[in-house]
Amino acid sequence: MTKKYLIFLLPLFCAGWMAFEPPLTGKPVDPDFPDELVHFQPHPNNPVFTGTGMATWDQKIRERGYILREGNNWFLWYTGYRNGEDKTKYLGYATSTDGLSWKRYGNNPIHTANWVEDMAVLKEGNTYYLFAEGKDDIAHLMTSTDRIHWQERGPLDIRTVDGKPLSKGPYGTPAVWKENDVWYLFYERNDAAVWLATSKDLKVWKNVQDEPVLQCGPEAYDQFAVAANQIIRHKDKYYLYYHASAFKDWREWSTNVAVSNDLIHWTKYNQNPIMGQNTSSGILVPDGKAYRLYTMHPEVRVFLPVKSSNQQN
């Protein structure tokens, strides 16, 4: 082939190559994070649950509440408090038939014996297990058979790999997963990182390693704080939803997600945060057809699934 023909064909070849080259639209799509787990749109009636704004025990709500759906019934546990001298955080309860319109329980607060905030609720058999942060950010466990009356089981006894008690200080925001008779507890200390401990009897927890399984950074959005909210299993992978802060004074939080094959080694979503602007403490709740994302702090908001641009094209 002569040079003349080569010169003529080269622009056509380049044009064809460029036509099939995918457009550069920022960070690449990550197949480990399917759309149904990371893409959501706000419900038009947000917020769906708030503090009363009046001089009640739940004038305001805060931190991570928790929602379970059983059949057509939805159950919400939340932390309430009021402005003034009494800083105690109490446990409240609300119910719904659609996860959107909530009715407060008539005899709230349902538990006043202990400080309860940042709770996670897991049902096993006929028992509900509520792991919560107590006073001084010490995690504790409560159990119930009716979702309303709770029995205190005491602070969690967490130990290092060699069996020694944790060093003094806070250990809070417990997030729990159970698999093959093993309980997995994700907890934070001063929101500086997330550790993982396991137990078979709910009495003694031992770190799987004494180093964190999730740390702050290196990106700006979670540079100054991280804390676990929830673990789910989707297909063959685990997903950890966590809240984080980009500010040293923690004035604003976001909701984020990471993926793992073994619950120990986590990879953060490269398009975190999935929710910003202080919509934090996010958890996923299946509605029977898809996941909804609920953020709990400083009020309860719901976000419904939305197709990504890649699905729509």
What is the per-residue pLDDT across 41-91, written as a single tens digit (0 to 9) for each? 999 999 999 999 999 999 999 999 999 999 999 999 999 999 876 778 999
- Identify whether 97 is part of a domain: yes
Please state the rounded mean pLDDT for residues 181-198. Answer: 97
Residue 156 belongs to domain with CATH number:
2.115.10.20
Query: Can you give the length of the chain in residues?
Result: 313
Is residue 26 scored above 60 in pLDDT?
Answer: no
Q: Which domain holds residue 175?
A: 48-312
- Identify whether 20 is part of a domain: no
- Identify whether 252 is part of a domain: yes
- Identify whether 266 is part of a domain: yes
Q: What is the domain count for the chain?
A: 1
Residue 87's pLDDT is 77
What is the value of pTM for the model shown? 0.88
Cis peptide before 109 (omega within 30 of 0): yes
CA dist., res. 171 & res. 253, Å (int): 19
**According to DSSP H, which parts of the chain are helical?**
3-20, 35-38, 309-312
- Identify whether 305 is part of a domain: yes
In angstroms, what CA-CA distances link 127 with 21, 73, 124, 145, 313?
A: 55, 17, 5, 5, 46
- Identify whether 28 is part of a domain: no
CA dist., res. 245 & res. 237, Å (int): 25
- Identify whether 64 is part of a domain: yes
- Identify whether 239 is part of a domain: yes
Residue 85's pLDDT is 67
Is residue 14 scored above 50 in pLDDT?
Answer: no
